[in-house]
Amino acid sequence: MSLFHPVNLVCPACNAVFTMPAVGSVNADRRPDLRDDILNDSFQDTVCEACEAEFRLQPEFNYLDVGRGQWIAAMPAGRMPDYLEVEDQVSEVFETSYGSKAPKAAQEIGDGLTVRLTFGWPAVREKILTREAGIDDVALEILKLDMLRNMENARIGPGNELRLVGDMGADLAFAWIASDSEESTGDEFLVARYAYDTIASDPEPYAALREDLTDGPFVDMQKLYVGRGRGAPPLPETDVDAILEEADEE
């Protein structure tokens, strides 16, 4: 089931204190309306009772969609620098709920779930949209890295995220989004889905990147610039380019 609990909030505009229900878990099979709210960027929106300022509660919940095979631990954007520690915590939660430490019936459900960790609303929305569009999220992250090589004004950096925001059929819509405000920092742009299909249909040339991206539940190209994973240093942009260029040659 989907669970909510009351939390006390301080309005960022007037400092008034009020209470709202915060989500602890979302079951999209039983509450598809909550899934729709996430996709519509309206989930956990609230209005200050004193000054009527609008703001959004940062995500901190588990998302389950058995029908689509998704289990997502959605965390606040500010926790991303500590993603390795959060990955350990999230993995333990999943193991207890649906993995090796869970009852047999729960393990059977867990066998059909893809486990992911996200930071911030744009990221969790993207994971849900990706599954809806029938897109492999690992191939999508490789596509993003490939796109960055050809962008003259790439906005990659702390607090700025390149996100899939729409599936147009023959094209995929992307936008640069600010992590703190969750607002677009530029116009949306389209990329032919064929570019994604080319990567998804032949994953072998990108094996090194896939290994780095999937060494834990946080599957996001941003991790390559924070720290490649367990025991590996951050990956310089030139190294990403080299790996992709080798894949092109193959």
Query: Which residues, other chains included, contact 245 with Cβ-Cβ below 8 Å and sequence gap of 6+?
Result: none
The residue to which tokens 């989004």 are assigned: 177
pLDDT at 32: 96
User: Rounded to two decimals, what is the model's pTM?
Assistant: 0.88
Amino acid 13: pLDDT: 87
Residue 152, C-beta contacts closer than 8 angstroms, at least 6 positions apart: none
Q: Please list, in sequence order, all residues whose beta carbon lies within 8 angstroms of the beta carbon of residue 177, skipping any fewer than 6 positions away.
A: 122, 160, 161, 162, 163, 165, 183, 184, 185
Q: Which residues contact 217 (CB under 8 A, 6 or more apart)?
A: 73, 87, 90, 91, 94, 115, 116, 117
The answer for residues whose C-beta is within 8 angstroms of residue 93's C-beta and 6 or more apart is 62, 73
How far apart CA 220 and CA 237 sit, in angstroms, is 15
pLDDT of residue 239: 55
**pLDDT value at residue 186:** 75
| Tokens linked to 143 | 């596509």
Instruction: Identify the segments of the chain with pLDDT beneath 70.
Output: 1, 153-158, 227-250
Residue 185: per-residue pLDDT = 77
Task: Assess contact for 48 and 18: CB atoms under 8 A.
Answer: yes
- Report the alpha-carbon distance of residue 35 to residue 41 in Å, rounded: 10
165-187 core/surface letters (b: 16 or more CB in 10 A; e: else) = bebeeeebebbbbbbeebeeeee
* CA distance to 166, 217, 234, 235, per residue, from 229 (Å): 29, 11, 8, 10
Task: Tell me which amino acid residue 36 is.
Answer: D
What pLDDT is stored for residue 238 in this prediction?
47
